[in-house]
Amino acid sequence: MQFIDLKTQYELIEADVVSRVTKVLASQRYIMGPEVAEAEEKLAEFAGTKYCVSCGSGTDALVISLMALGLKKSDAVFVPAFTFFASGESVTLAGGTPVFVDSDSDTYNMSVDDLKRAIKYVQEETDLTPKGIIPVDLFGQPADYDEINEIATQHGMFVLEDAAQGFGSTYHGKRAGSLSLVGATSFFPAKPLGCYGDGGAIFTDDADLCEVMKSVRVHGQGGSKYDNVRIGINGRFDTIQAAIILSKLTIFENEIDARQKVAAAYNERLSDVIKTPVVKDDRVSVWAQYTLEAKSEAEKVDIQKALTDAGIPSANYYPIPMHLSTAYAPLGYKKGDLPVCERQATRVFSLPMHPYLKEEEIATICDIVRSSVK
């Protein structure tokens, strides 16, 4: 069994992918070919934003956004500690200072209460200036954008949505990527919408910010190719990957529906024996991961061992919250600083999740989980 089945998906779209990629190969327009603009247009339409700037990866999407917004070392950007490393790393790469925030005990997303605490701490105890917030749509569920956007407005901060796992989800009927000033996503192959290599995209309604992000994407380009008006990166999206995204977009809505069915089948078979995912009523998850929480680390280890023994893959997202990572040791956080996510990190694990998971496979997986729960 596979954790994410990209092969079944490929069989479904093979003819279309081959035809689109062959067209790119024939045109030889590998960099910024017409498929890139076409993908940006379709992606903006899907997300419901005015603009989309495609780029080389989800990490590039975060870095380009932050470089365009402009960060100084004394600028604090609030990031959940319980997420993929790039959410915080991008702040450091763009020249700012990440300040880590604890998670909500049910959704695993940034805790609004802990965000308020962290802002107060920065204002009263440090020389940093609150500058921005990066909520992450962890495991595919949008964060609490109404509350977070309001807090940001109160303090004159920007909000950058890390929708790398959330692209395709909705919040009050609006798509992830469109839920704040600017949204970033990833097309890493295992994400809900993935290409066949690295890729990413940024979404905004802000025309000025869009122009600056396009400039940052190509070495801070100004009016012409060798007129560099700011420091940028090489962060373009490959034409071949754009062709693949165009193909994948044609089945994405169906896949989002199929993911709901898989998650519902898991919930039905497991919710009486273990803590299943909590998705708030006003949002629809895209189920980047289906994550369970055991009652203890020992129970988690037992369940995962039983799964492994049966040839079923499972994963640990994320075993080390970012504030306790070796790379961020210089920031001086210690164990116990963000207790909720530290506990979650020892107890959560994710089951195979993709749109093509069969009812029999779900039943097999759930039987093993059920029989190894204490």
Ligand X SMILES: *Cc1c(COP(=O)(O)O)cnc(C)c1O
CB of 266 to ligand X, least distance (A): 20
Minimum separation from the CB atom of position 27 to ligand X (A): 26
CB-side neighbour CA atoms (13 Å) of 15: 1
Residue 75 structure tokens: 């600028």
- Tokens encoding 8: 């079944």
Nearer to ligand X, 316 or 364 (CB): 316
Q: Is 165 in the site for ligand X (CB under 6 A)?
A: yes
Q: Of 59 and 65, which has the nearer Cβ to ligand X?
A: 59
Stretch that binds ligand X, among 67-75, 82-90, 211-219, 276-284 (CB under 6 A): 82-90
Q: Which of 78, 100, 188, 356 binds ligand X (CB under 6 A)?
A: 188
Nearer to ligand X, 83 or 291 (CB): 83
Report the residue number, 58 or 177, with the smaller CB distance to ligand X: 58
List the one residue from 200, 232, 235, 321 that touches ligand X (CB under 6 A): 200
- Asked if residue 24 binds ligand X (CB under 6 A), the reply is no
List 220's β-bridge partners, or say none: none
- Return the ∠ at Cα 39 (arms to 176 and 47), rounded to 5°: 20
Rounded to the nearest angstrom, the gap between the alpha carbon of residue 98 and the centroid of all alpha carbons in its chain is: 17
Question: For residues 290-329, which are near ligand X according to CB under 6 A?
Answer: none
Does the footprint of ligand X cover residue 202 (CB under 6 A)?
Answer: no
Stretch that binds ligand X, among 37-45, 55-63, 169-177, 325-333 (CB under 6 A): 55-63
**What radius of gyration, in Å, describes the C-alpha atoms of the chain?**
21
Question: Whole-angstrom Cα distance, residue 53 to residue 40?
Answer: 6
From the centroid of its chain, how far is CA 200? 10
DSSP reduced 3-state for 207? helix
Q: CA neighbours within 13 Å on the CB side: how many for 333? A: 23
Site string for ligand X, 97-136 (x = CB under 6 A): ---------------------------------------x
Partner residues linked to 51 by β-bridges: 204
Q: Beta-carbon neighbour count of residue 367 at 10 Å?
A: 13
CA dihedral 165, 168, 174, 176 (to 10 degrees): 20
The least distance separating ligand X from the CB of residue 158, rounded to whole angstroms, comes to 17
Q: How far apart are CA 203 and CA 52, in angstroms?
A: 5
- 80 touches ligand X by CB under 6 A: no
Residue of the chain from 104, 162, 255, 293 that contacts ligand X (CB under 6 A) = 162
* Residue 198 interacts with ligand X (CB under 6 A): yes or no: yes
Question: What whole-number distance in Å separates Cα of residue 151 and Cα of residue 158?
Answer: 10
Q: Interface with ligand X includes 285 (CB under 6 A)?
A: no
Give 59 or 372: the residue with its C-beta nearer to ligand X.
Answer: 59
Interface residue with ligand X among 46, 51, 84, 171 (CB under 6 A) is 84
Contacting residue, 9, 57, 170, 178, with ligand X by CB under 6 A = 57
CA distance between the termini of the chain: 25
Q: Which positions touch ligand X (CB under 6 A)?
A: 57-59, 83-84, 86-87, 136, 162, 164-165, 186, 188, 198, 200
